[in-house]
Amino acid sequence: MIGIQRLAPRLGLLSIAIALVAANPATAAPPAEVAVGQTLPDTVMDGLNGPARALASYRGHPLIINVWASWCGPCRAETASLERLAWSDAARGIAVIGISTDDYRDRALAWLRQSNATYNHYIDHGLVLESLLGAKQLPLTVLVDAQGRVRAKITGSKDWDSPQAQRLIETTLGSARR
């Protein structure tokens, strides 16, 4: 960025804008989506209701990742069932986490307080997690095995503590829990 003032008379505004974007790593393209069957790469997640944590720290146990936003009605509708699932016997040995795609941390935190969320939630920055998980539609729930491989992606709201959802979880992650 040093010398932009000296370069300005010689370069057009478009050239300066391109130079600034290229120099700023925060504007880098988000990562590619991890397909079903592929392993999630490690990334540090910024905690909303707890500390930051590396995604890879969940390895060794199956993982259910719910991608949501505070403004998303279907996301809000399934929140209570995810909370019940997280603390149920059906999820024993499985970690349940939430990833907010909210642009504003305060809005995500307000929703967590309102919903009385107790399991770990994180907030996405720069579309990193949203892109990795393929969250083109919300809510998105991703089932990940103990080795970090994506086993299923489910879009739309579900009653996650229902017998049907528990069968889906058992079918997808059941053998990985043992």
| Residue 38 and residue 23 share a domain | no
| Residue 47 and residue 65 share a domain | yes
Label residues 36-56 b or e (16+ Cβ within 10 Å = b): eeeebeeeebbebeeeeeebe
Residue with tokens 């998303």: 72
Total domains, the chain: 2
Give the domain CATH number at 128: 3.40.30.10
| Residue 159 and residue 98 share a domain | yes
HSE, side-chain direction, 13 A CA sphere, residue 167: 3
**pTM of this structure:** 0.82
pLDDT tens sequence across 115-172: 999 999 999 999 999 999 999 999 999 999 999 999 999 999 999 999 999 999 999 9
| Residue 146 and residue 73 share a domain | yes
